[in-house]
Structure 1
Amino acid sequence: MARPFPVQKTSFPKVERKWYLVDAAGKPLGRLATRIALLLQGKNEPTWAPHVDNGNFVVVINAEKVLLTGKKLNQKVYYHHSGYPGGLKSQTARQIMEKYPERIIELAVKRMLPKTVLGKHQFKRLKVYAGENHPHAAQKPEKVELL
C-alpha cells in the first residue's frame, strides 16, 4: 500500500559548542549585550535554527569596567517585585554595580534572549566575572573582539 504523500524527514546537525571569551572593559553595555546574546543563541553559526539550541558558551571578564553612557549609572533603575502587595523594589545601576558588577551584564543579556525554555538553557551558558580571572581556562575559550 503506497502512501499518498512522501514522508519528509528533518535532519538535526550535531551540535558542537564553542567557548568564547569577551572582555567587557570600556565597552557600552547594550552593544556588548546584543553581541553576547547572538553568540549564546548560536546565530553566528550556519546551522542556526529557531527550534534547535545550538548556542555557544560565553565567558565575560572585567564586568566591573563595563561602560554605561550618559547619566545611566545614576538614572537607570532596575525593578523587581517580591510578589506581595507593595513589594516593588528598585535599585539604580550604580547600586548594583557597587555590590554585584556582573549582574548588570547578566540582566541585559537575559532580557535579550527568548522568554522560553530554550532561552533559559541558553542563559545558563553565560559566565560573567567581575575581574580578569575566570576558572574556564581548561576549555580554551577563543578570545573574540565584539566591537
Structure 2
Amino acid sequence: MKTPLPKVNDIQRNWYVVDADGEVLGRLASRIATRLRGKHKPIFTPHLDTGDFVVVVNAEKVRLTGGKLDKKLYRRHTGYLGGLKTATARTMLEKRPEEVLRLAVRRMLPKNRLGRRQLKKLKIYRGPEHPHQAQKPEPLRFTP
C-alpha cells in the first residue's frame, strides 16, 4: 500500500492573524513555527511546504520571562575583522521588535531551502495594523 502524498497545487493555505500582546516569546514562536510548517494538518509531509500564512501584530508587546531582557544577547557579524556586533534583547525589542520574533521562529524551522520558503509566509508588524485584510485572516488564539 502506497502512502498518498499531497500535490503542491492541492495544498490549501489559510491565513491567520496572531496578536502577540502579552505572549511569551518562545512559546509564541514555537506555535507559529508549527503553523508555518503545517504540522497541525493531517497531510503534513516533512519534505513539502504544507503550512499556512501567519500575520503577527503587536510584536513590540511580546514578553520575555526571567532576566532574559538583559541577559539574552543577539550577535551578528558585519563581515569585517572585529565586526562582531552584540545587542541585548532589551535594545532589540526597542529598536526592531519584528526581528526578535522573526529570529525566534527562524531558528525553529528547518535549516535549508524549505525552511527559508516557510519563513517567507510569516508577516510581522510592530503595531496593531497590517495590510493583509484582503486575505481575510482568521484570528488564531493559543490556549495555555
2:22 to 23, 26, 41: 26
Q: What's the CA shift for 1:9?
A: 8.8
Residue 122 of structure 2 corresponds to residue 126 of structure 1: yes
Rounded Cα–Cα distance in structure 1 between residues aligned with 2:142 and 2:103 = 19
> In the aligned structure 2, how far is the partner of 1:32 from the partner of 1:10?
32
Q: Which amino acid aligns with 1:12?
A: P
Could you tell me how far apart the structure 2 residues matched to 1:111 and 1:123 are?
Answer: 10
Instruction: With the length of structure 2 as denominator, give the TM-score of the two structures.
Output: 0.92
Aligned length: 140
Superposed CA offset, 1:114-140 (max 9, x none):
001000000000000111100011111
Q: Which has the larger displacement, 86-95 or 30-39?
A: 86-95
TM-score of the superposed pair, with normalisation by structure 1: 0.90
2:53 corresponds in structure 1 to 57
1:12 aligns with 2:11: no
Identity value in percent:
55
**Rg (Cα) greater in structure:** 1
Structure 2 residue matching 1:102: 3-state secondary structure: helix
Partner of 2:64: 68
State the match for 1:4 in structure 2.
none
Residue-by-residue CA offset, 1:1-43 (whole Å, 9 max, x unaligned)? xxxxxxx796434111110111100010000000000000011
After TM superposition, the structure 1 = structure 2 runs for residues 81-100 of structure 1, keeping only pairs within 5 Å, are 81-100=77-96
Unaligned runs of 5+ in 1: 1-7
Task: Please report how far the alpha carbon of residue 101 of structure 1 lies from its aligned counterpart in structure 2 after TM superposition.
Answer: 1.3
Unaligned runs of 5+ in 2: none
* Alignment correspondent of 2:134: 138
User: Could you tell me how far 1:86 is from its partner in structure 2?
Assistant: 1.6
TM superposition shift of 1:84: 2.5
> Counterparts of 2:64 and 2:3 in 1: how far apart (Å)?
48
Between the aligned partners of 2:127 and 2:78, the Cα distance in structure 1 is 30
Query: What is the CA-CA distance between 1:100 and the residue it aligns to?
Result: 1.0
Which whole-Å CA distance do the structure 2 matches of 1:38 and 1:9 have between them? Answer: 22
Q: Which amino acid aligns with 1:112?
A: M
1:109 partner letter: V
Bigger Cα displacement from structure 2, 83-92 vs 30-39: 83-92
Q: Which runs of 4+ in 1 moved over 6 A?
A: none
Distance (whole Å) between structure 2 residues aligned to residue 63 and residue 120 of structure 1 = 21
Structure 2 SS opposite 1:90: strand
